[in-house]
Amino acid sequence: MEASVQYNDWKGTAAADIADEFVNSMDEYLTLKSQKYDKNIYHCVGCRLRPYGIDKLDVVFYCREIKTGQIVPICFNQEFGISEILVIFKRFAVVLGEHIDRIEEPRVDIIYI
């Protein structure tokens, strides 16, 4: 899976740590959020977050069906605000750039402007 937008002017990577209250498991979050999600049937292996509007996110969770191994997309029938989704994560980082594979993060103080 790879993130993509219309023109892909900038590409990048992301990393996240799931919040402790969800026992470091996206399945715990999905179980708490919806009575229809059954962690004995599905195991969440990824998600896609796409911002739209001022503060809304389109969220798709990619889950492996335990019996078949098939990946199925799961969505909620509601809109999410950005803060509602970011609460899932203890830490969340995104790196974007023209050619991030050619950029090494400098080991100097940040210049605030």
State how many domains the chain has.
1
* Residue at 4 is within a domain: no
Length of the chain: 113
* Residue at 57 is within a domain: yes
Q: Provide the domain limits for residue 46.
A: 18-94
* Residue at 3 is within a domain: no
In terms of Cβ atoms closer than 10 Å to its own Cβ (0-12, 13-18, 19+), residue 94 is: exposed
* Residue at 75 is within a domain: yes
* Residue at 12 is within a domain: no
Kindly report, residue by residue over 90-104, the tens digit of the pLDDT. Answer: 999 999 998 887 777
Percent of the chain with pLDDT over 90: 60
Q: How far apart are the first and last CA of the chain?
A: 36
* Residue at 110 is within a domain: no
* AA identity, residue 92: F
Kindly report, residue by residue over 8-33, the tens digit of the pLDDT. Answer: 999 999 999 999 999 889 999 999 99
